[in-house]
Amino acid sequence: MSRFKKVGLITKLKDLKVSDTLNHVHSRLEALGCEVMLDHSTRGLIGGLITVGLEAIAETCDLAIVIGGDGTMLHTARALIDSDVPIVGVNRGRLGFLVDVSPDSELTQLNEILAGDYMEESRFLLDVEVLREGVVINRVSAFHDIVLRVRDLLRIVEFKTYINGSFVNIQRADGVIVSTPSGSTAYSLSNGGPIVNPTLDAIVLQPICPHTLSSRPLVIGADSDIEIRISDEGIDNGQLVSDGQIYFDIISDDIIHIKRHDNRIRLLHPTSYNYYKLLRAKLHWT
């Protein structure tokens, strides 16, 4: 018997590699008496069944199961952030810092979670607004990071940073990464940033290839209000990127306002989950 009555299934769109696992999980849920809702991403991967949007899963399900990689989890987390639906990640991707349930033939770890034997973790997202001449022109959430850069060119951009209304500095760099603890093992890490335990309420500001040796990553409290202003004249091809998945353009004098999202995502892990064991495995530490 499952502790969860209505379960949503989400996969990477049109990824045939997850089809077997999807069908296996679906059959197991039905055998346990769960009502299953299939996201539109499962179309073509499981035969003859009606699919729904993530909005319906957010409104009606008491569990969401993501089958794929971290990218699918990022997309799902942003879509479900305003609901209280917990998420389980079944790893059919490559790295798997967020999707950590094994898709073994018996679905052992998933069965334990469905029976109520799991470890729950709460993680925050970033809430981002872009203002132009005082008007909000774009709003987006990010589970991993927000990246400011120049689109299509390798060139330096100048920007000013303010934290809680206080001026911090002017930087000239290829851009800046603003990362959650969950995202500290993603792009920020590749750029030399620190690894931050995902349970910490902290935000990392990581310049990308800064034009001064004194520029270093800055770790601040997650309750901080961050403001980044593009101070370069004539920048008409700036770009803001959320989680490496959502892109929109910015120009000179735009203001990027970043803060912790009011809501949090609930992740359910197997009881054997250990963050440092995961780091050792994924980063090939001895």
Active site residues: 70
Structure tokens at 273: 């989950």
Helix (H, G, I), strand (E, B) or coil at 242: strand
How far apart, in Å, are the Cα atoms of 131 and each of 128, 144, 150, 162, 285?
Answer: 10, 22, 18, 15, 43
- Cα distance between residue 221 and residue 130, in whole Å: 21
Q: How many whole angstroms separate alpha carbon 256 and alpha carbon 136? A: 10
Alpha-carbon gap, residue 209 to 206, rounded angstroms: 9
269: nearest Cα among 120, 76, 122, 77: 120
Round to whole Å and give the CA distance between 244 and 148: 11
Q: What phi and psi, each to the nearest 5 degrees, are found at residue 142? A: -145, 130
Counted residue by residue, the chain has a size of: 286
Sheet with 246-250: list strands edge to edge: 218-221, 202-208, 175-179, 145-150, 238-242, 246-250
Q: At 84, give phi and psi (nearest 5°).
A: -115, 25
∠ CA 9-63-38 to the nearest 5 degrees? 20
